[in-house]
Amino acid sequence: MLFSVLHHALIDLQDPIYGVLFCCLLAVSLVLYFVTCFTDPGYVPKQKLKTTGGQDHCLEMESDMSEVETCLTQDAQPLDKRHRYKYRFCDYCEIQPPLRAKHCEDCRLCVRRYDHHCPWLEACVGERNHKYFWWFLLVTAVLIVWTFVILWDSFVTKKSWTEWFHTNLVLFLLAIILVISGPVVLGLLAFHTYLMINGQTTWEASSRERITYLKYLENEFNPFDEGCLSNIYYFMCFHKVRRWEQVYAQKAKFTASQD
């Protein structure tokens, strides 16, 4: 069994590094779970937008979330007036949320660069905690594979199936749980790695036809894709609030059909 293997490694000091590494990974997974849960995903405060403030002023206040919202000026729109998008108005929060933000009905707030509301975490995944969510998936995926290997080695060989099943029942049930949860976690990890590399979110990837700033772009063009390395950098290492309006204005190319 898993616990007897760990007990053998840790308590009997047969292979302490093996056991300590496993326990550390388990602890890191738990810590990342709570960090993802309790980190502000990028909630947009419920307050009216200020209508003044030029681009230079916005640049000075880049790290201030409330001031970033003053940047929703025409400076951030594509030059071609025919193809400028209209900002949505959130009736619940009574604000114009910034680009890529979406209202979460569970959290009752708009969330910056909204990804999804995770029912397992009972928390939103957005601009600020998406990286922690990715690390949580990675560590959990490693743990599941490792645990499965430990279980596989722990099965006791018996002559008959009945005897084998009776002896290995607990291990067998644990293995079934891992076989079910493993592909889910590995699939989520692969999907969120794809999103990170391509500068996308789950919401944008799954509901493109419903998103006003994406549905008129030609050939599945993603205006937030700044290149693989830049996407990973901004996903993992950038802690300020990004002004997606400017990224969008620089790269978006609308189809001429939207007149």
Active site residues: 118
State the minimum distance, in angstroms, from the CB of residue 146 to Zn ion: 31
Tokens of 42: 């990028």
Residue placing its CB nearer to Zn ion in the complex, 117 or 242? 117
Count the residues of the shown chain that bind Zn ion, applying the rule CB under 5 A: 10
Residues 117, 123 contacting (CB under 8 angstroms): yes
Nearer to Zn ion, 46 or 57 (CB): 46
Per CB under 5 A, does 58 bind Zn ion?
A: no
Contact between 103 and Zn ion per CB under 5 A: yes
Query: Taking contact as CB under 5 A, which single stretch among the options 13-21, 23-31, 117-125, 216-224 is the one that binds Zn ion?
Result: 117-125
Q: Which is nearer to Zn ion, 5 or 128 (CB)?
A: 128
* 94 contacts Zn ion (rule: CB under 5 A): no
Is 138 a binder of Zn ion (CB under 5 A)?
A: no
Q: How far apart are the first and last CA of the chain?
A: 66
Token pair in block for residue 51: 């209508």
Q: Does 49 bind Zn ion (CB under 5 A)?
A: no
Q: CB-wise, 112 or 117, nearer to Zn ion?
A: 117
Using CB under 5 A as the binding rule, whether residue 90 contacts Zn ion is answered as yes
In the list 6, 9, 93, 150, the residue contacting Zn ion (rule: CB under 5 A) is 93
107 binds Zn ion (CB under 5 A): yes
Name the minimum Å distance from CB 252 to Zn ion. 23
Kindly state whether residue 99 participates in binding Zn ion, applying the rule CB under 5 A.
no
141 binds Zn ion (CB under 5 A): no
Q: Are the C-beta atoms of 155 and 168 separated by less than 8 Å? A: yes
The residue ranges that bind Zn ion (CB under 5 A) are: 90, 92-93, 103-104, 106-107, 110, 117, 124
